[in-house]
Structure 1
Amino acid sequence: MERRDLEIFLTLADELHFGRTAERLHVSQARVSQTVKQLERRIGASLFERTSRRVELTPIGQRLLDDVRPGYQLIKDGVARAVAAGRGLTEPLRVGFTSPLSGELVLFAASAYRANHPEAGDVVLHEAPLSDPFRLLREGELDLLLAQFPVVEPDLSTGPVLISDRRVLIVSTRHPFARRPSVSLDDLARDKVLGLSGPVPDYWLDALLPRTTPGGLPVVRGEEAATRQELLALVGAGRGVHPAAAHEARYYARPNIVYVPFTDAPPLEYGLVWRTAVETGRVRAFTDAAVAVVGKQGGPAGVCGECR
């Protein structure tokens, strides 16, 4: 019995309908009927009772189904595992993220990745430090990183934009800007702009903390904090302001800070990053899963749908 003949028999036994079987296997209904007739001639008995209203397995057909289905599933699983091993899918996939929102998107993408590739290995999540975001990726501790764009690194490749979020300015509740409905980029010249310490790429600093405003006014950079929580503490204490993505208001709400939207700042964008030299089937499969998740009505509800 050829593999395709067996597949047609098993599918027809599940569907009990020639038309649905043909549609599911992407073959013609005539091919299904011809295959069943050939199997019945080879076995010497009817496998299906067929009328104008219904299709049912005969006792011999049911016995054949019970005998061959477990073996067919073993073969199918074995081939899937071999394909997964050939594509490098069986090893655990280590995915990093740099913000709570990107972490949630990674979780949704991991679920889609496992659903699409049940033979694949586990997905292990890690939070990457904002102060040195690419270190774990370069050291081989991560296979993928969901990070802020742009990423302009000679050894790293990027996928499509997965999240696009509005920019806001974080200020103390005592700051004059806290009572305003919005701010502009020129307003950055009216206070010290705080940042994070560490080897953050210059192009990220220039994007978040420009040296001059669109109107040509100088921007004074203030203190640098080692962590996000330290940075928010400094802002809350009135030591300066900090530009950020709007979604941070959901995850870093504090009674002494306010998130004021910009009217003229471009959005912040995020996507997946990986080492160019080790782009694998797992990397491509997970990237496809993340794109599919975001593509469902702009992303999973409450995660990134409001940002795109």
Structure 2
Amino acid sequence: MELRDIEIFLTLAEELHFGRTAERLHLSQARVSQSIRQQERRLGGALFDRSTRTVALTRLGQRLRDDLEPGFGLIRAAVDRAAVAARGCCGTVRLGAMGALPSELTWLVDAYRARYPECGVEFVEFHFSDPFVKLRTGEVDMQLMWLPVPEHRFRVGPVVLTEGRVLAVAEDSPLATRSSVSLEDLAGRTVLDPGEHVPVEWFRAMCPDRTPGGRPIHRGPRARTFHEVLALVAAGRIVCPLNGHVPRYYSYPGVTLLPIDDAPPTEWALALPASVPAPHVQAFVDTARDLGPRRIDDHTTPAATHRLR
């Protein structure tokens, strides 16, 4: 089966209309019909049930579609990358990131631009309170997200950053005199409620419902932005686990940041739509994979306790 015939079959399997398939592939309708008939003769069975009004996949057609789609997508992506290599890659990657994290990616952006001089990176900020909206709507090409990324509509690329975690508490909290804390210290305390737009599994990776020993952690008031979180902490209404880079970039009156000794490391990975990315976007992913992850400068040792005033 030739690649063009595979493309015709898969397009017809999606459109279920000979005219639209021909228009989409810039072919005549007769050419589409001829290709499908040849494939059916070669396979010895019908791929589509046809009537004067409808076109539907047969069971054989459904199986062939399911078997061909993944491999054909890989072939098209490989051809696209080869074409990019032949003519040079160009375009701007729109990369979603929270807060100050773009500052931790200069090494990756510089390497990408060195490899692909006609390419660039534009950072777009998003908030944790609706973390996937820009990715779903196509406002960004990819996002830097802590793992796990739960939504089935996205795929997870390489991990690019790792770091420890800190706990934000009010400066008059009994915890504030400590040099560090553990996740068990969250027992009986209140953390924020992120709201209905935040996937539960994703948020639990940062703010669990229970301590490792099984004691409950309460959910409290909602916050939409990082500075709203800090305001609630300063007021003594919540405590909040945060990522280890926070002390380097942020200050807020009345908030103390304490290293969490037993918190799992945060892994920041590139999250992309499930569709095949544009060549310049794939080139950024490939660059990140080739270089491997970097650890953000460690601000989470006991000596790094910060009081934000």
TM superposition score normalised by structure 1: 0.64
Residue 105, structure 1, aligned to residue 104, structure 2: yes
User: Which of 258, 261, 264 is equivalent to 2:262?
Assistant: 264
Cα distance between partner residues in 2 of 1:269 and 1:97: 14
What residue identity is the alignment partner of 1:95? L
Matched-pair identity in %: 41
For residue 221 of structure 2, what is the aligned residue in structure 1? 223
Q: Deviations over 1:43-90 (max 9, x none)?
A: xxxxxxxxxxxxxxxxxxxxxxxxxxxxxxxxxxxxxxx943978943
Classify 1:179/1:115 alpha carbon distance in 2 versus 1 (closer, same or farther; 3 Å). same
For residue 210 of structure 2, what is the aligned residue in structure 1? 212
For residue 96 of structure 1, what is the aligned residue in structure 2? 96
Cα distance between partner residues in 2 of 1:93 and 1:162: 16
Cα distance between partner residues in 2 of 1:211 and 1:250: 27
Cα distance between partner residues in 2 of 1:263 and 1:239: 23
Aligned residues: 219
Cα distance between partner residues in 1 of 2:287 and 2:299: 19
Classify 1:132/1:86 alpha carbon distance in 2 versus 1 (closer, same or farther; 3 Å). farther
Q: Deviations over 1:232-288 (max 9, x none)?
A: 011011111001111111112223111111122211110111112132322221123
Classify 1:99/1:294 alpha carbon distance in 2 versus 1 (closer, same or farther; 3 Å). farther
The question of whether the paired residues in 1 share the 8 Å contact of 2:169 and 2:233 is answered with yes
Cα distance between partner residues in 2 of 1:105 and 1:284: 21
The question of whether the paired residues in 2 share the 8 Å contact of 1:193 and 1:209 is answered with yes
Classify 1:278/1:105 alpha carbon distance in 2 versus 1 (closer, same or farther; 3 Å). farther
Cα distance between partner residues in 1 of 2:122 and 2:181: 40
**Displacement of 1:134:** 1.4
SS at 2:286's partner residue?
A: helix
Cα distance between partner residues in 2 of 1:161 and 1:212: 26
The question of whether the paired residues in 1 share the 8 Å contact of 2:188 and 2:215 is answered with no
SS at 1:229's partner residue?
A: helix
Classify 1:86/1:221 alpha carbon distance in 2 versus 1 (closer, same or farther; 3 Å). farther
For residue 113 of structure 2, what is the aligned residue in structure 1? 114
The question of whether the paired residues in 2 share the 8 Å contact of 1:108 and 1:293 is answered with no
**Displacement of 1:203:** 0.7
Residue 126, structure 1, aligned to residue 124, structure 2: yes
Classify 1:87/1:145 alpha carbon distance in 2 versus 1 (closer, same or farther; 3 Å). farther
For residue 60 of structure 1, what is the aligned residue in structure 2? none
User: Which of 189, 193, 197 is equivalent to 1:191?
Assistant: 189
TM superposition score normalised by structure 2: 0.64
Task: Trace 1:57-206 onto structure 2 (pairs within 5 A).
Answer: 83-84=83-84, 89-101=89-101, 103-120=102-119, 122-206=120-204
What residue identity is the alignment partner of 1:92? T
The question of whether the paired residues in 2 share the 8 Å contact of 1:96 and 1:126 is answered with yes
The question of whether the paired residues in 1 share the 8 Å contact of 2:165 and 2:242 is answered with yes
Classify 1:305/1:252 alpha carbon distance in 2 versus 1 (closer, same or farther; 3 Å). closer
The question of whether the paired residues in 2 share the 8 Å contact of 1:84 and 1:119 is answered with no
Cα distance between partner residues in 2 of 1:288 and 1:105: 18
The question of whether the paired residues in 1 share the 8 Å contact of 2:127 and 2:224 is answered with no
Task: Trace 1:17-96 onto structure 2 (pairs within 5 A).
Answer: 83-84=83-84, 89-96=89-96
Q: Deviations over 1:105-156 (max 9, x none)?
A: 3444222212101133x32221122211211111111111111111122121
Cα distance between partner residues in 2 of 1:135 and 1:278: 19
Classify 1:217/1:88 alpha carbon distance in 2 versus 1 (closer, same or farther; 3 Å). farther
**Displacement of 1:292:** 5.2
The question of whether the paired residues in 2 share the 8 Å contact of 1:148 and 1:269 is answered with yes
What residue identity is the alignment partner of 2:104? L
Cα distance between partner residues in 1 of 2:93 and 2:246: 27
5+ unaligned residues in a row in structure 1: which ranges? 1-81
**Displacement of 1:307:** 7.5
The question of whether the paired residues in 2 share the 8 Å contact of 1:95 and 1:106 is answered with no
SS at 2:215's partner residue?
A: coil
Cα distance between partner residues in 1 of 2:218 and 2:231: 19
Classify 1:215/1:89 alpha carbon distance in 2 versus 1 (closer, same or farther; 3 Å). same
**Displacement of 1:220:** 1.0
Cα distance between partner residues in 2 of 1:239 and 1:228: 15
The question of whether the paired residues in 2 share the 8 Å contact of 1:105 and 1:290 is answered with no
User: Which of 220, 223, 248 is equivalent to 1:250?
Assistant: 248
SS at 2:211's partner residue?
A: coil
SS at 1:190's partner residue?
A: coil
Compute the RMSD of aligned alpha carbons.
Answer: 2.5
Cα distance between partner residues in 2 of 1:88 and 1:222: 52
5+ unaligned residues in a row in structure 2: which ranges? 1-81, 301-309
